[in-house]
Amino acid sequence: MKQTLFSATLDNGVVLVGEELPGLESVAVAFHTPAGAVHDGPERCGLATLSGEMMLRGAGDRSSREVVETLEGAGVQWSQAVSTSHASFAGAMVARQLPAALPIYADMLRRPRLEAAEFANARQMVLQNLAGTEDDPSHRAMSALRQLHYPAPWGMPSEGISTQVEALGVEAVREFVAHNVRPGGTIISIAGRIDWPDFVARAESLFGDWSPGAATAVPTGPRGPRFRHVPHDSQQTHIALAWSAPPYRSDESYEASAALAILGGGTSARLFTEVRERRGLCYSVSAGYQTLRDHAAAVCYSGTSAARAQETLDVMLGEIGRLPGTLTAEELDRVKARAKSGLVMQQESSASRANAIARQWYHLGKVRTLADELARYDSITVDSIEAWLAANPVRDMSVVSLGREPLEVTHAVSA
């Protein structure tokens, strides 16, 4: 498949990456600034999320409401999110709207008003969202799992902690934005129906005179305990497991994610087959690979009635333990087929591609071509996965149960 990729770096460090997707009418653009939750700081969990919200609430000569109405009036599907590593502002639109949309995003990054008058509402909105996540059992379980698995602050919940958000003031937001929203580490990605030279020229004029600032160091702390039970008044008990995996930039991440796909990636994967299809123990069960820049995880999840949760956990652990030495070529072929068709179908969505190429730049400092990616998948063999599994036995597993009663996990910790 023909693929047209571009990249450029402005003098101040802003990286531009692009992919032309023939046949699309749309274009998607995403601005990822290095103002993620990892920079929240002690006792300020939620500061990045609150700052991201404030950056939307008025920028340049537009009020909060004018920002949204201008974007939506142009038919831009906009979004804003704060992850562990980045604050991201994105939009997907019919290509002719791009010249009108770009300056609004430039204002959000470079000239957010951060007005005191908006602050109370923004903080209240963040607190409302936090309360909403309290009612979502699977979200709570996975959030608790990340806190156990990753060393602080990499596992802290980006949505924040209520008591800490309540104590934040507008000055903290202004300081956070001044330190962390900066050209170095900012990635602007664009995909779809693009005119690359025109885009570079516009980006140069909007961001070229943005003064660089120093990167903020992130001191990495210790990991949490290996097991936590989260009391929750629910009929189901939710089980979340994690153990270490190589980060995406490591070449072995392909073997790791293939092994996890065989364990729990599709409906023919082992967990779905053994836990749901054979035993009817649950509705949802899966395994997958998650990565930050320097840390990654193998993650398994299931939710089931309290009375059947122990059996579900035991079967999951049994399948995890059974994986080394038992992989088959047929299983690997199915994993490769799924990965390949997923990569190709991603080319049908400008927004998916804009995110994918930015993610690759963050992790690798380059965009991998589709051909390279497919070739790397082709090079995975049963032997290469087995070798990786043998060299990286599952240990130090983090276990979260969420529900009315804790589970018995001595077996899990020694798995």
Which 137-156 positions form the footprint of other proteins (CB under 8 A)?
137
Which 63-82 positions form the footprint of other proteins (CB under 8 A)?
64-65, 68-69, 72-78
The string of DSSP letters for 134-179 reads HT-HHHHHHHHHHHHHSPTTTTS-TT--HHHHHT--HHHHHHHHHH
Peptide bond into 222 cis (omega under 30): no
Which 193-232 positions form the footprint of other proteins (CB under 8 A)?
232
Beta strands 284-291 and 296-305 are antiparallel
Q: Nearer to other proteins by C-beta: 132 or 221?
A: 132
Stretch that binds other proteins, among 36-44, 91-99, 167-175, 390-398 (CB under 8 A): 91-99
Q: Nearer to other proteins by C-beta: 87 or 397?
A: 87
Q: Nearer to other proteins by C-beta: 338 or 376?
A: 338
Task: Name which position in 9, 124, 163, 205 contacts other proteins (CB under 8 A).
Answer: 124
| Nearest distance in Å: CB 269, other proteins | 8
Which 225-244 positions form the footprint of other proteins (CB under 8 A)?
232-236
| Nearest distance in Å: CB 209, other proteins | 31
Convert 66-97 to b/e letters by CB count within 10 Å (16 or more is b).
ebbeebeebebebebebbbbbbbbbbbbebeb
Task: Name which position in 5, 94, 172, 230 contacts other proteins (CB under 8 A).
Answer: 94
Query: Residue 187's closest CA among 319, 413, 367?
Result: 367
330 Cβ contact list (under 8 Å, min separation 6): none
Q: Nearer to other proteins by C-beta: 330 or 405?
A: 330
> In this structure, what token pair is assigned to residue 131?
């309360």
| Nearest distance in Å: CB 31, other proteins | 18
Q: How far apart are the first and last CA of the chain?
A: 43
Q: Nearer to other proteins by C-beta: 234 or 384?
A: 234
> In this structure, what token pair is assigned to residue 215?
């990167």
Stretch that binds other proteins, among 43-51, 89-97, 291-299, 362-370 (CB under 8 A): 89-97
CA distances from 335 to 84, 267, 324, 327 (A): 28, 11, 16, 12
Which 246-305 positions form the footprint of other proteins (CB under 8 A)?
266-269, 272-273, 276-284, 303-305
| Nearest distance in Å: CB 285, other proteins | 10
Which strands sit side by side in the sheet containing 77-82, from one edge to the other?
4-9, 15-20, 187-192, 26-33, 87-94, 77-82
Which 303-332 positions form the footprint of other proteins (CB under 8 A)?
303-305, 330
Q: Nearer to other proteins by C-beta: 327 or 339?
A: 339
| Nearest distance in Å: CB 136, other proteins | 7
* 51 backbone dihedrals φ, ψ, rounded to 5°: -65, -40
| Nearest distance in Å: CB 38, other proteins | 25
Asked if residue 59 lies in contact with residue 113, where contact means CB atoms within 8 angstroms, the answer is: yes
Number of residues that bind other proteins (CB under 8 A): 76
3-state helix, strand, coil in the chain (%, to 5): 45, 20, 35
| Nearest distance in Å: CB 74, other proteins | 7
